[in-house]
Amino acid sequence: MRYFGLRMGQALLLLVGVSLLSFVFLQLAPGDFFSEMRLNPQVSSETVDSLRQQYGLDRPLPVRYWRWLRSVAHGELGFSFAYNSPVAPLLGVRARNTLLLTSMATFLAWSAAIPLGVLSAASPQGWLARSCSLGSATLLATPDLLLALAGLMFAVRSGWLRIGGMASAEIDAAQGWLRIRDVASHLLAPVTVLVLGSLPILLRHTTSAMREALASPFVSAARAHGIGRTRILFRHALPAAMNPLVSLMGASLASLLSASLLVEVVMGWPGIGPLLLEAILNRDLYVVIGVVMLSTFFLVAGMLTADLLLFVADPRIRREGLA
Amino acid sequence: MNSGSLSQPFLLARGVTKTYVHRGWSHRGRHKALDQVDMALPFAKTVALVGESGSGKTTLAMCLAGLECPDAGEIWMEGRDLVSAGKRQLAAIRPQLQMLWQDSAAALSPVLTASEIVEEPLLAQLRASPRQRSEIVSDLFQKVGLRLEWRIRYPHQLSGGQRQRLAIARALASQPRLLVLDEPFTGLDLSVRGQIINLLLDLQATHALTYLYVSHDLEVVRYFADEVAVMHRGRIVEQAPTAELFVRPSHLYTKKLLSAIPAFAGIQGCAN
């Protein structure tokens, strides 16, 4: 347990480091939210200066960092110039939408990858293994952007899937079953694109880990004892093949917040992606930092979760951890 | 080939052939691992299979254990041919053929406890209540000299010798008639090696087990085996009772094999 205390400390340090670096880099970038106003002849230079003063942009970097830290302590994460509101509630809603999308996609991708990988490894010359390998090679070679655009095109042409936003305008106020169905129909296209994008990597890792496990003597031993095929696959080989997969699961947890940026922007899903893009274009400083911090937080939390899972899944590590 | 079987053969291999075909996108390779192998394993005796690396020892061992299927040939065991047997028949015979591996850590599932490992074969083959199974497991632990409090340990928490005992207990759970030993003593220190060898000799006497012992270690072979079969390039070039073979090797390759070991070069000198 001391080990996990240490890891928590490291995680905290990492978060502080990332926040400092984001401040410094955004400082280095030219211009700020109010720079464009200077080009507008109807806004006087004094007005812009007073606005900058009002938002504290004229202060030196350390002061601004200190103020930001204090606002983090208050749970506000700074202030958005564009939305004229604290960053935290803004991020909260968007993060919830993104998590709905990505957790669904991650769950579906894993639920497909594990059985397909296990079966591909079980009969590597079979039609399933061949088509999985061909399919994943094709998907790997396809850029995510192309995949998203193809999904968009399919949705628009076929008219079966709803695209843009999270809910239809007329149903926005409705509650219960109707609303769930409406959100689900909006989810379908982005989730499909995300699943297709992440599936090949998960599938390849599952297949190769399983093939390795199936080649080891303890699997031959199980066969010699007349233990059934399904039991060999799922009780003997899969748990032994789990280690690299658990690490990969941690990575997919870690990327829950950032994996879907592109798809969200292309398909108009109101998640973190469009918010971040907008904020960067507007130089809405604290929103950008807020998104970066939240992503880092998820990264760290995902890695910690992966370690915990490994601890649970592998008796060899469990032993070392306790000693 | 002179086959000086001591008694009626328990298992008889005839013309066993196995070719591995490598299908790559750049080239195709064929490797004949076994070439018309004839071999007899006398009942409740130990036959050692010696030969250099890559001579096909392990492939032959896997075929005889029913884990690999030869391309051609016959393997007769008590009036049944393993090669031509159907899936069901083979499934019924296979538990009688068990194997011990060189690397005991790789041969035991890393995520199951010692008692689960021994229980798995029982689950597959017996209709027994959990309590009965647990009794059988305790019994097997005692037979191979494992302490009962080690039941909850995982393989990595056991020493090499203890792991090999656990592997023996698991093999016994299937009530085998033939045990294929693929260099199971390698990597064990001398005293532990002696204990495991003696355990296997005891089990052979009490359970009428037939052993096929695949090895490099001619010293252990001389002590442990009743007969020795010498393998060279996928063929058995000589099979004879141990004492006879060590004193009067008839095949040229056997002579070379024996003379490569300093201790035996001396013995051969005496015999000449």
Rounded to whole angstroms, the Cα distance separating B28 from B22 reads 5
Query: Residue A19: in which H helix or E strand, if any?
Result: helix A2-28
How close is the nearest chain B Cα to the Cα of A222, in Å? 7
Tell me which chain B residues have a C-beta less than 8 angstroms from the C-beta of A239.
109, 111
Say what angle helices A315-322 and A285-313 make with each other, to 10 degrees: 100
In a domain, A46, yes or no: no
A220–B99 C-beta distance less than 8 A: yes
How close is the nearest chain A Cα to the Cα of B21, in Å? 14
Confidence of residue A172 (pLDDT cuts 50, 70, 90): low
How close is the nearest chain A Cα to the Cα of B111, in Å? 6
How close is the nearest chain B Cα to the Cα of A2, in Å? 22
Specify the pLDDT at position A311.
82
In a domain, A221, yes or no: yes
Q: What is the CATH number of the domain that holds A116?
A: 1.10.3720.10
DSSP class per residue in A237-263:
IHHHHHHHHHHHHHHHHHTTTTTTHHH
Average pLDDT in the B130-152 region? 93
The ipTM of this complex is 0.84
Average pLDDT in the A240-267 region? 86
User: What is the Rg, in whole angstroms, of the alpha carbon atoms belonging to chain B?
Assistant: 19
Confidence of residue A321 (pLDDT cuts 50, 70, 90): very low
Res B230 pLDDT > 60: yes
In a domain, A161, yes or no: yes
A316–B120 C-beta distance less than 8 A: no
The residues of B whose Cβ lies within 8 A of any Cβ of A are 62, 65-67, 91, 94-95, 97-99, 101, 103, 106-112, 120-121, 123-125, 154, 156-157, 167, 170, 173-174
Q: Would you tell me which residues 229-268 of chain A have a C-beta closer than 8 angstroms to some C-beta of chain B?
A: 231, 235-236, 239-240, 242
Average pLDDT in the B123-128 region? 83
In a domain, A319, yes or no: no
User: Is residue A137 within 8 Å of A200, Cβ to Cβ?
Assistant: yes
In a domain, A16, yes or no: no
Pairing between β-strand B72-77 and β-strand B227-232 as defined by DSSP bridges: unpaired
Count up the domains in chain A and report the number.
Answer: 1
A226–B125 C-beta distance less than 8 A: yes
Which residue from A224, A226, A242 is facing B99, i.e. has the nearest CB? A224
B156–A314 C-beta distance less than 8 A: no
Strand order in the sheet with B80-81: B28-42, B9-23, B72-77, B80-81
Instruction: Indicate the average pLDDT of chain B.
Output: 87
A314–B98 C-beta distance less than 8 A: no
| Percentage above 90 pLDDT, chain B | 58
Specify the pLDDT at position B270.
43
Rounded to whole angstroms, the Cα distance separating B172 from B208 reads 12
Give the residue on B whose Cα is nearest the Cα of A212.
Answer: B106
In a domain, A28, yes or no: no
In a domain, A67, yes or no: no
How confident is the model over B147-187, as pLDDT tens digits?
999 999 999 999 999 999 999 999 999 999 999 999 999 88
Q: Which stretches of chain B are assigned E, i.e. beta strand?
A: 9-23, 28-42, 46-50, 72-77, 80-81, 97-100, 178-182, 210-214, 227-232, 235-241
Instruction: Indicate the average pLDDT of chain A.
Output: 86
Phi, psi of B99 (to 5 degrees): -140, 145
How close is the nearest chain B Cα to the Cα of A315, in Å? 6
Confidence of residue A171 (pLDDT cuts 50, 70, 90): low
Tell me which chain B residues have a C-beta less than 8 angstroms from the C-beta of A313.
111
Average pLDDT in the B17-23 region? 86
Which residue from B94, B107, B173 is facing A217, i.e. has the nearest CB? B107
Residue type, B70: P
- pTM given for the model: 0.81
In a domain, A289, yes or no: no
Which residue from A217, A226, A314 is facing B91, i.e. has the nearest CB? A226
| Percentage above 70 pLDDT, chain B | 92
Q: Which domain holds residue A153?
A: 110-281
Specify the pLDDT at position B3.
45
